[in-house]
Amino acid sequence: MAVPFRRTSKTKKRMRRTHLVKTARTVLSCPNCGEPIQAHRACTKCGFYKGKNVLNKEDETPVVKEEKEVKEAKKTTAKKASTKKTTAAKETK
Ligand SMILES: [Zn+2]
């Protein structure tokens, strides 16, 4: 077994250990429920990550539902607008 020739000085030891400092974790608030969460991790309360329920917790997926509703609303508004345009075009003729 190799044996060190000299004992490591206090200074050398402390200089080496300056890199072993633990840093505080970044805490964000969940965009779905507002609970404090770690960055790049699914919410432990509602199981959401990037707007999706990835842990399949009991809560349903209100964000996804809202997105669907918004898309449907856009479709309906687009249809209405197109029908209005067609009716307006007919009226002008
Ligand atoms: Zn959450």
> Is 6 contained in some domain?
no
> Is 17 contained in some domain?
no
* Residue 37 structure tokens: 């969460």
Rounded to the nearest angstrom, the distance between the alpha carbon of 29 and the centre of ligand 1 is: 8
Rounded to the nearest angstrom, the distance between the alpha carbon of 23 and the centre of ligand 1 is: 24
Task: Compute, in degrees rounded to 10, the torsion defined by CA atoms 78, 52, 62, 55.
Answer: 160
Q: Hey, which bits of the chain come out as E strands?
A: 27-29, 36-38, 48-49, 52-53
Residues 43, 71 within the same domain? no
Q: Residue 78: which domain range?
A: 61-93
Rounded to the nearest angstrom, the distance between the alpha carbon of 65 and the centre of ligand 1 is: 16
> Using one digit for the tens of pLDDT, what is the confidence trace for 12-63?
999 999 999 999 999 999 988 889 999 998 998 888 898 888 888 665 555 5
Rounded to the nearest angstrom, the distance between the alpha carbon of 36 and the centre of ligand 1 is: 8
Question: pTM score > 0.75 for this model?
Answer: no
Residues 35, 54 within the same domain? yes
Residues 87, 66 within the same domain? yes
